[in-house]
A and B are shown apart, each in its own frame.
Chain A
Amino acid sequence: MHALVADGLRKTFGKTEALAGFDLRVKEGTVCGLLGPNGSGKTTAIRIMATLLRADGGSARVAGFDVARRPGEVRRRIGLTGQSTAVDEILTGRENLEMWGLLYHIGKKRARRRAGELLDQFGLTDAADRRAKHYSGGMRRRLDLATSLILAPRVLFLDEPTTGMDPRNRNEVWSAVRSLVDEGTTVLLTTQYLDEADQLADRIAVLAALPGAGGRIVAEDTPDGLKAMIGGDQIDLVVRDAGAIDAAAKTLARVTGSEVDIEPDERRLRAPARDRIGVLTTVLRDLEEQNVEVEDVALRRPTLDEAFLRLTGQHIPDDAKETR
């Protein structure tokens, strides 16, 4: 059963195309990471599915209801934590939750009880009666997240939940998201951070916009599957003596049958390796025969940045790269 289905969503703002046919399916109770650089249409996609924006074309069903035809039904079943927090800074954390609870029509008593539960769940009990103005970025985001959960939504949308956060705050948000998923919430999360998608998501959908066109999904798989899809492992080799680089490069090229990437300053050589173990033993044996001393050797999976390059032919733009 899919909690979220998007078929060919299209959206254009003025002359700029934001989404050019967005398809996505997210199984119930899983986390889908929507990964893409700035301007690839992530927020547009989320806003359409959260009933904030109307698509120009295509359709989407969230928790079983069409977002354009039955937005009211969808709204009863979703939570959204957007890029800009919806925290009232003049109210305390508790008052924020109680107010939103009333607006969710759960009644004063239940709103109060639910606020207490959520403050507890998100580690905000000590700060509950302080004004949100004095909260840290991470606390504010957690409060915002808690608000989205007042009704225990079937589907939770998180639009770049940790952008601009320090690692400690980010970890707090991550563990909050993980515990939600344990309770069966389906999460669609957008992120520019590769490690975030890797850490949280069951499946990753890569959204990319080619120059002059709107975003579309260019790949969708498990984090490991995605890495496998874009070319398997890499062999990483460091030789002891700079004079041996050429000999090592020749050997590596012959054994792997691929082009070798050399970083002379670090005496490091890199090449994609199709057959993991075979390559490693053959390379090491051949180098030993040539008396080339190896300082370090490793087989590693490609990073998501490398994945992005393979999938879209573009590097992730600098402003969308990890800065932490």
Chain B
Amino acid sequence: MTVIDDTRPTLGYHLVWAFKDGWTITTRGLVHWIRNPAVAIGGLLYPIVMVALFGLVLGSAMTVEGGGDYAEFLMPGMFAQAMANGVMGTMAVTSSDASEGVTDRFRTMPMSQAGVVLGRSFSDIINAALELIILLGCGMAIGWSWHNGLDGALAAAGLLLLLRFAMIWVGIYLGLLLKPEAAGAAWMVLFPLTMVANTFVSPAQMPTWLGYVAEWNPLSATVTACRELFGNPGVVDGSWATDNAIVLAIAWPLVAFVVFLPLCMRKYRRLSR
């Protein structure tokens, strides 16, 4: 028989278990990744195909504002877009766990409820880091490189992972909100959001209003900041958003995190309504 400890748990106890349970769930996520590489590879295929299409097929016809090689211009955009698209994965897993009995089981157990989301975010960040390493390799294969030393490159990678981290909370929220089928269709809405940015072309080359939207797109901030930190072309001084790209690339994800974390917690609790 199980001995039940009836003492009221302390905050430290909660924290320790949040991390322990979070880690158990992280390992589950990683085992999925290893045993079901098709899903992860499918996720990677999209940016790789885009890199090939834009870098090799369209690249020759593309001009970079302020001059420079298109592949050099494109890659930071691809990295950021891949991080932003990670929201789809988080959303899909969250939504399917909720529709199968897994989330119900979590919620009827004496485990740490914070650990559930913590585990999701751990395993997604580890995934994202691996994905980023593979994409960096792809970029190098088509002639992209960083020019501001390892410090700059690591800082850029940090900003990219920060973006992915914010998207985890957006994804968990949407995953709890939507049924798995709807979560699949959300792609149609999210895709244009990641395209209306400075990923593939400079906003200056778009119609004025669209260029304005693209320039203030949170994704553009990360892209510009990465171009700056990697020492890639396409960063043309001018607007406030461009001049303060690094600040915005930190601020936008933090804002998203601060907004979506409580939304996730509320939604998770409201599953019991």
Q: Which residues of A contact B (CB under 8 A)?
A: 50-54, 72-73, 75-88, 90-91, 95, 99-100, 102-106, 131, 144, 147, 151-152
Contacts and interface: CB of A to CB of B under 8 A. Distances in A.
B21 interface: yes
Interface in B83-135: 99-102, 104-111, 115
Contacts of A85: 100-101
Nearest to B271: A52
Interface string B23-55: 011011001100110000000000000000000
Interface residues of B, number: 31
A169 B268 CA distance: 34
Contact of A72 (B104, B105, B110): B110
B108 A105 contact: no
Nearest to B273: A54
Given A53-B272, A151-B2, A75 B35 contact: no
B99 to A, nearest CB: 7
B4 interface: yes
A88 B102 contact: yes
A98 to B, nearest CB: 10
B1 interface: yes
Interface in B225-239: none
A159 to B, nearest CB: 9
Contacts of A104: 109-111
24 contacts: A51-B107, A51-B272, A52-B272, A53-B273, A54-B273, A73-B6, A76-B4, A78-B108, A80-B104, A84-B104, A85-B100, A86-B100, A86-B102, A88-B28, A88-B102, A90-B31, A99-B28, A100-B105, A102-B20, A103-B25, A104-B110, A105-B110, A131-B35, A152-B2
Interface string B57-68: 000000000000
Instruction: Give the 4 A-B CB pairs with smallest separation, nearest first.
Output: A86-B101, A86-B105, A84-B101, A82-B101
Contacts of B101: 81-87, 144
Contacts of A84: 99-101, 104
B17 interface: yes
A227 to B, nearest CB: 34
B2 A91 contact: no
Interface of B: 1-2, 4, 6, 17, 20-21, 24-25, 27-28, 31-32, 35-36, 99-102, 104-111, 115, 271-273
B24 A90 contact: no
Interface of A is mostly: loop
Contacts of B31: 90-91, 95
Contact of A52 (B28, B102, B104): B104
A117 to B, nearest CB: 13
Given A52-B271, A82-B101, A86-B104, A75 B36 contact: no
Contacts of B27: 99
A87 B101 CA distance: 8
A85 B31 CA distance: 20
Contacts of B1: 152
Nearest to A131: B35
A27 B32 CA distance: 42
Task: Point out which of B27, B36, B102 has the most chain A C-beta atoms below 10 A from its C-beta.
Answer: B102
Contacts of A78: 108
B105 A76 contact: no
A61 to B, nearest CB: 16
Nearest to B111: A103
Nearest to A151: B2
A53 B272 CA distance: 4
A276 B51 CA distance: 84
Contacts of B4: 76-77
A80 B108 contact: yes
B24 A75 contact: no
Given A86-B101, A90-B35, A99-B28, A105 B111 contact: yes
A211 to B, nearest CB: 25
